[in-house]
Amino acid sequence: MDNGTSTPDSNVAASGSDGPPIIPGEHGLASPTGGPPAAAPGGQPNEGDTRLAAPAPIQPSIATAKVAADQLSNARALAAMLAGVIKERNLFLTIKYKQRDGSIKESHHVYFEGWTTTGALCGPVLGESIFPINVWTRRLVHARDGIEGWEARVEARGYSGALVGAAEAMCLRAESRWAGSPEYQLRSMAQTRAGSKALRIALGWIISLAGFDTTPAEEMQFERHDEDEGQPRRKPPAKKGGKAAPKKDSEAQAKDQALGLLMSMWPNWVEAAGPVAVMATVLNLPHKSRGSIKRYWLDVGGTWGQAKAIAAEVKRKAGEDADMARTIEVAQEVDAYGKMTAAKDTADEAGQQTLPMP
């Protein structure tokens, strides 16, 4: 019985008396059948339809091609500049590997600092600079085998806050490189790896234009095995009864001390680049890849004890608060490798050996 009043339903909108109720849809008013709004003649949505119509396909044009060509030109100019900076500052890792046909191929992978440099300078190409933002970190403990480590999530965002990339990465004690490292180093490396991967999503094509591989260097360090040269050797376990294991020879001890000194002086640099690359940079060797210390330092007469002393000298001259760029400049000024090779050449000319071989 109509008493002149009505109670509107919260989920159903009243319609005319001649038709069924109209049910609100997700993007506006639905049709009487509950499906999409009926289209008016000519394919246009009825009045009241709040959904966006499908955009018309973009037709190729001279103007569109010119915009793309201009953007590519700007990207190539940025890539050329980045290649110079990355090579000058040694912000990349070179890995050599043998192919099936026996030939040797090199791959070049950019460190985290190179990715962040690319993000900071990409504004003219992408419209704004891009930076990594740490979202969270968490400690991992595998319930079955007890493997420990850290996992992190990092997002790549522009100044506007726009999300352009995101990634998660781990650093585990199961990796020989991190087996004996403290917690903070594993946590930091997990963030570094995640940051590089997040930036790769948005900036990988620019890095590729610069002539580098798009896989970040930190991921390649996860895969490579350079403990034979670049890792401090673990202390041998003590024998039963409290007696220590036999001491190592003096050169092996000097190696452990040298690499340990690097970790104490430049922990962030060592955990990001690895001890081989850091020591090779401090000694100003021509190459920083695996085997470089043996080939360019030990095999020409240098020792781990000398390397340790040079690392301490570079740190002292650069200063306690010096950044990586300043440290590299000082290492180039000290030029330990240049002095070593010059001394060796002089000794060879004189027909005598002046430096002890390892």
114-145 pLDDT tens trace: 999 999 999 888 889 999 999 999 998 875 55
Alpha helices in the chain (DSSP H): 62-88, 112-121, 123-126, 183-209, 217-223, 227-230, 250-265, 267-273, 275-282, 292-296, 304-318, 324-334, 336-350
Which pair of tokens denotes residue 31? 């049709």
Q: What is the C-alpha to C-alpha distance for residues 278 and 264, in angstroms, rounded to an integer?
A: 12
CB 326 within 8 Å of CB 319: yes
Q: Where are the domains of the chain?
A: 65-225, 250-350
Is 65-225 a CATH 3.30.1490 domain? no
Q: What is the C-alpha to C-alpha distance for residues 43 and 9, in angstroms, rounded to an integer?
A: 32
CB 95 within 8 Å of CB 289: yes
Residue 286 has a pLDDT of 83
This prediction's pTM: 0.48
Residue 222 has a pLDDT of 54
Pairing label, strands 92-98, 28-29: unpaired
Q: Can you give the length of the chain in residues?
A: 358
Residue 231 has a pLDDT of 40
DSSP letter at 285 equals -
Which pair of tokens denotes residue 274? 């690895």
- The helix (H) or strand (E) run that includes residue 95 is strand 92-98
Unique residue bearing structure tokens 């040079």: 310
Cβ neighbours around 126 below 10 Å, total: 19
Enumerate the β-bridge partners of residue 140. Answer: 149
Any idea which of 39-43, 136-140, 146-150, 302-306 has the lowest mean pLDDT?
39-43
CB 126 within 8 Å of CB 202: yes
Amino acid identity at 305: G
More reliable by pLDDT, 151 or 355: 151
